[in-house]
Amino acid sequence: MPKWGYSIIEEELDPEKTAKASGRELRVSHKASREVCRAIKGMMLAKAKAYLKAVIAKKQAVPFRRYKKKLGHRAGLVRAYAGRYPVKAAKQILRLLESAEANAENKGLDVDRLRIMHAAAYPGVKIKRYMPRAHGRATPKYEVTTHVEIVLEEKPEQGGAL
């Protein structure tokens, strides 16, 4: 069994108030996944799911802040000019959000008060293959997989006695 952890410090997490989910070696772009994770971090769970469904339907663009050279402008972006519709990455991250939501339900957390406190994506293992070429040569063909992590926390109830 492989040994891996989360990139967030485990001691900072309260096990009674948080739920985690992780996708390892997903076959999606790590650059697009990073930008999607950055866009949804800090959102409430219901809002993040609606946002990702809008990205999949190509109704709302994801702002690209790091990997944006020669990238086109998209309408509706706030504080960013470059963006894309990373459908494949959004589908995988939506799957992970639903998995984290199921983990939270299993722990007995209130699903309506869940907030994404940690969302990270980074490159995983390279899948190495070779494409045969003319005159007995071969060209390497690499596919970089992606690790994605999601941590949800239950926000305290709003309102108190005045």
Asked if residue 13 belongs to a domain, the reply is no
* Contacts with 160 (C-beta within 8 Å, 6 or more apart), sequence order: none
Structurally, how many domains does the chain consist of? 1
Asked if residue 56 belongs to a domain, the reply is yes
pLDDT tier at 160 (50, 70, 90 boundaries)?
A: low
pLDDT tens-digit map of 139-153? 999 999 999 999 999
DSSP H/E element including 21: strand 18-26
Range of the structural domain that residue 100 is part of: 18-154
CATH number at residue 51: 3.90.470.10
Nearest CA among 143, 142, 38 for reference residue 90: 38
pLDDT tens-digit map of 24-43? 999 999 999 999 999 999 99
117 has a pLDDT exceeding 70:
yes
Cα distance between residue 115 and residue 106, in whole Å = 16
Asked if residue 5 belongs to a domain, the reply is no
